[in-house]
Amino acid sequence: MLTPIDIGQKEFKRSALGYKIEEVDAFLDDVAYAYEGLFKECQDAKEKIAQLEEQVTRYRKLEETLSQTLLLAQKASEEVRQTADRQADLCIGNARLEAEKIIKEAEEKKHTLERQYEWLKNAVRQYRLQYRAMLIAQLEAIPDDDDVQLQVAATYEPKPDYVRIPLLNIKDEQE
């Protein structure tokens, strides 16, 4: 590539019918100066392009890293969700089993209590029947009033007067 120094140091052969040397030198100086500015801009642009390409490379690597991180995060999120779903299903299943067990135990307890209640009802009924039968038997064993008076009269023995007199005296003293 042609540099500004190359332009500034360029020497042309002299000829008799050629251009004016001063004008050519002045023009070459102007061209060299302008070219130097453009050359510097081009070099700066190349450096800037290199920096930008380096940044683009870093950004692409960062983008790739972020993309991989995002994929890993999505995968981890999916695994966590699936694990949570499995645990929730397991908890629900365990809760259902426990509920069924509690219901079964409650039904068994209810049936046991119902059987005990029926047994107690029958026992009370039997006790009442037996008690009623015993009361009826006792009532039937009690003699009528007439029979009692006859039995007392039949067993009564009159006491002699000497036994009665002291009793009368005791009664008189009390009055």
Distance CA 160, CA 168 (A): 13
Count CA atoms within 13 Å of residue 96 on its CB side. Answer: 6
Helix then strand then coil, % of the chain, to nearest 5: 85, 0, 15
Nearest of 14, 41, 17, 39 to residue 25 by alpha carbon: 14
Judge whether 47 and 35 are in contact, CB under 8 Å: no
Distance CA 94, CA 106 (A): 18
Q: What is the pLDDT of residue 148?
A: 57
Domain ranges in the chain are: 4-102
Q: What is the pLDDT of residue 150?
A: 61
> What is the block-wise mean pLDDT of the chain (175 residues), using blocks of 10 residues?
72 73 80 85 94 95 96 96 96 96 96 96 95 90 67 62 53 51
Q: Find where tokens 């209590």 sit.
A: 113
User: pTM higher than 0.85, yes or no?
Assistant: no
